[in-house]
Amino acid sequence: MIAIIDYDAGNIRSVEKALNFLGQEVIVTRKKEQILGADKVILPGVGSFGDAMDKIRQYGLEKVIRQVAENGTPFLGICLGLQLLFESSEESPGVQGLGILKGRILKIPETEGLKIPHMGWNTLKLQGNGRLFRGLPEDPYVYFVHSYYLQAAEEEIVTAVTDYGIRIHASVEKNNVFACQFHPEKSSSTGLAILKNFVEL
């Protein structure tokens, strides 16, 4: 059973549909017992960092998410779900993130010819043996929608980068915690392969 954490953020249903397509049993929930009892847990999300952290705290999910990470359960953050795992974001000054991983979320700088938000397909440069990318071709193409990007404090956890006027840490992996800034559920067969790698961990 895979638990998708429901904290009123967008994009939950498309993640659920992609996992159903892969034949997985999925529950969308904010119940502590269901999240802690799941084989794997996903934190998706589209929206603002501050609003999302408010909802996570309002629903009493902060401690639950930390417990999942500490228990060794495979955990995947997607898009905003990646950003929330880190310490802070320029989008919401003064708001503390989950701080499960070390690093900051920064605004993509205004660069001539590049639109913000960054919406569209970009190539990933794989940085070693990230388990989410097992069996994928070199330089896979995935779909992004974001105005803020990750600068991880620990370079060794970065498993993929992309360029959009600046070098973006696009995916990370540390022990049982995985996260990607792009949307695997919107990234066609490549994204499904990434999700399949996660469910097969």
Q: Kindly give the confidence (pLDDT) of every residue in the chain, 201 residues in length, as a single tens digit, with 9 standing for 90 and above.
A: 999 999 998 779 999 999 999 999 999 999 999 999 999 999 999 899 999 999 999 999 999 999 999 999 999 999 999 999 999 999 999 999 999 999 999 999 988 888 999 999 999 999 988 999 999 998 999 999 999 999 999 999 999 999 999 999 999 999 999 999 999 999 999 999 999 999 999
Q: How far is CA 9 from the centre of its chain?
A: 13
Residue 4 CB contacts under 8 Å (≥ 6 apart), including other chains: 12, 15, 16, 19, 26, 27, 28, 29, 41, 42, 44
Q: Which of 118, 146, 169, 183 is catalytic?
A: 183
Residue 195 has a pLDDT of 98
The total of structural domains in the chain comes to 1
Q: Tell me if residue 185 is catalytic.
A: yes
Q: Which of 16, 91, 173, 185 is catalytic?
A: 185
pTM more than 0.75: yes
Amino acid at 143: Y
Range of the domain at 124: 2-199
Q: Hey, is 134 helix, strand or coil?
A: coil
Q: Which of 16, 79, 91, 146 is catalytic?
A: 79
CATH number of the domain residue 121 falls in: 3.40.50.880
Q: Tell me if residue 183 is catalytic.
A: yes
